[in-house]
Amino acid sequence: MTTAHSIRQARPGDEPHIARFIRDLARYERLEHQLDLSEARLTVHLFGDSPVCSALLVEHDGQPVGFALFFTSYSTFWCKPCLFLEDLYVDPEYRGHGYGLALLRALAAEAIERDCPRLDWHVLDWNQLAIDFYERQGATVLADWRTCRFEGDALRNMASPPAT
């Protein structure tokens, strides 16, 4: 397989591809049971009046084979917007040929173009292949930061005032 590829911004009509990548990623990460995936919501969130995220697609012979979904975060220390990579996924048969690296490079270029001081993302601690890949590219895997999360009942409980 050659490594000829192209990378482009997602556009309306790409939602089925992005949804498939998200499903495949969730399956790979053993989190498929957490999916509440909606192409209609993807349309609104990616292309609506107030988009909350963006995506890049990598194509091989004109067919999408991977994606990177990202959004703007903010650094109070830098007083600048940053980019946060939510998901990076390449179809298994296209891994090892530079497609993931091409997506990372394109996203880094996007961060530079937006004057972002950093690009952040999470990686599961058991995903040593991904950790090794990111470290080979010069990324620092931060051992001293942990992701905290409220979701579901915990989120609703936190949002509700305590009973008096």
| Residue 69 contacts residue 89 (beta carbons within 8 Å) | no
> Is-catalytic flag, 28?
no
DSSP notation for 38-84:
-HHHHHHHHHSSS---EEEEEEETTEEEEEEEEEEEEETTTTEEEEE
**Residue 117: which region, alpha, beta or left (left: phi > 0; alpha: psi -120 to 50)?**
alpha
Distance CA 154, CA 135 (A): 34
Selecting among 89, 94, 99, 134, the annotated active-site residue is 134
Name the residues annotated as catalytic. 134
